[in-house]
Amino acid sequence: MQYEFRTDIGKRRSVNEDSAAVYELQGGPVLAIIADGMGGHRGGELASSTAVQSIGEQFKSIENPHAMDEQSWSSWLEQVITHTNLSIYEMAEEDEQYKGMGTTLDAVIIFESSCIISHTGDSRVYKITETELQQITRDHSFVNALLDSGEITEEEAAVHPQRNWIMRAIGTEKTIELDFYSIHFEEGAYLLICTDGLSNKIENEKMKEVVMSEVSLSQKVEQLIDLANDMGGEDNITVILVGPFRSEVSQH
């Protein structure tokens, strides 16, 4: 499985509060995680890095991954993220300087031609093919709640002053409700996971154009980050790109 990931501080921030990692298991699936921290520089950085490292370490300690089916992986994800949420919440409760810290989190377990996603916050997961860019996850944001209720339009949402307000994050409450998604990949499809430093800056059509271009995976990731910086780079920018997926071929 081919993948590239990169995080960039952007042009305006003094600290990178994003964290990302990709973990591989011998004989098992791949885990890709992206997190965008909040709650002051030290708090945001701590929350996002703690979430990524904690889940990654538990993933690497799984002894018999090929014995697990998709349902087992979903249950495992729910369990470790629930535990991580509580750990970050308790860290914030115990230390005044971290009070209110939290992080978005997209943790994706990737198989040969499918994946399962646990989603919290407003980082995003996209599936990209020759014909379309499909946003899989739904933002847990104030603006999205207004959109859903019909109070504002898509155009108003794009420039809304509270568009960065998040309604759900890892570590801000003692318990967490997680969204889960499952998707299948066609031949040649890509999986893109990113923080809002990218998705707030680049139009869907442009994103699709870069991902489907005839350059290497690392060049695609670089181009996406460069574009977001060219558009202002006000936020940290983090991208994980996986693909292209291949159809499973039976052996004769």
164 has a pLDDT exceeding 80: no
153 has a pLDDT exceeding 80: yes
Residue 157 pLDDT class (50, 70, 90 cuts): confident
Q: What percent of the chain has a predicted confidence (pLDDT) above 70?
A: 98
Q: Which of 14-28, 111-125, 159-173, 196-210 has the lowest mean pLDDT?
A: 159-173
* Burial label, 13 (beta-carbon count in 10 A; 0-12, 13-18, 19+): middle
Q: Which of 104, 62, 96 is nearest to 79 (CA)?
A: 62
**More confident position, 214 or 27:** 214
CB atoms within 10 A of CB 194: 29
What local confidence, expressed as pLDDT, does residue 210 receive?
98
Instruction: Walk me through the domains of the chain, giving residue ranges and CATH numbers.
Output: 3-242 (3.60.40.10)
158 has a pLDDT exceeding 90: no
Contact (Cβ atoms closer than 8 angstroms) between residue 144 and residue 199:
no
**Distance in Å from the first CA to the final CA of the chain:** 22
CB atoms within 10 A of CB 99: 12
CA atoms of 72 and 123, how far apart (whole Å) = 25
* Burial label, 226 (beta-carbon count in 10 A; 0-12, 13-18, 19+): middle
Residue 155 pLDDT class (50, 70, 90 cuts): confident
